[in-house]
Amino acid sequence: MAVREPVVVIAPNSFKGSVSATEAAAAIAAGVRRVWPQADLRSCPMADGGDGTLDAVLSAGGERRTARVSGAAGASVDAAYGLIANDTAIIESAQVVGLTDAAATVHPVETRSTRGLGELVRILLDAGVKQFLIGLGGSSTNDAGAGLLAALGLALVDANGQVIEPTPAGLAALSRVDASALD
């Protein structure tokens, strides 16, 4: 009976701010290969919806692109996203409003917004993208998606009929929403 080569599945997540899941898988594979050269290595980078999700998904195919949108504190960021089959976008919120954006994290969390995510969705809708897979982990804000929806046309209104900022602080004054201009 023939001896079967061992199969080793290598499925790491990214190491936040250090290496991507793909880079971690390659490093692990190199180490395993040194001590177990006959092993059948199967690399499968993983992600939990936060940092590294885009890279993990694109490791199976697709195209990486960037767009300039608002970061969590409003400053422009070049956010990476992926396209699969030209009609499905992969968006990682950490690329737009992530914890690793030092410029945003100096601002209080109650003033940050996911508006840039909505800007990116709008750009992609205008380009003909029909489906979206959005990883929500690794965000530096907790506006409940209000910024994303505001960028798509949802108006957040206070008791006096004034539009409020789509931030955690702004949501404290929320009285109603107006979806009449929602894209």
pLDDT of residue 1: 67
Helices (H) and strands (E) in the chain, counts: 7, 8
Instruction: Say which residues have a Cβ less than 8 Å from residue 108's Cβ, sequence separation at least 6.
Output: none
Q: What angle do CA 159, 161, 165 make, to 5 degrees?
A: 85
Q: Measured between alpha carbons, how far is 53 from 15 in angstroms, rounded to an integer?
A: 12
Evaluate whether 80 touches 69 at the Cβ level (below 8 Å): no
Nearest to 113 by CA among 162, 57, 83, 152: 152
Q: Which residues of the chain have pLDDT under 50?
A: none
Please state the pTM of the whole predicted model: 0.84
pLDDT, tens digit (0-9, with 9 covering 90-100), for 17-48:
788 888 999 999 999 999 999 999 999 888 88
Q: Measured between alpha carbons, how far is 39 from 51 in angstroms, rounded to an integer?
A: 29
pLDDT of residue 27: 96
Q: Measured between alpha carbons, how far is 18 from 52 in angstroms, rounded to an integer?
A: 11
pLDDT of residue 172: 94
pLDDT of residue 163: 96
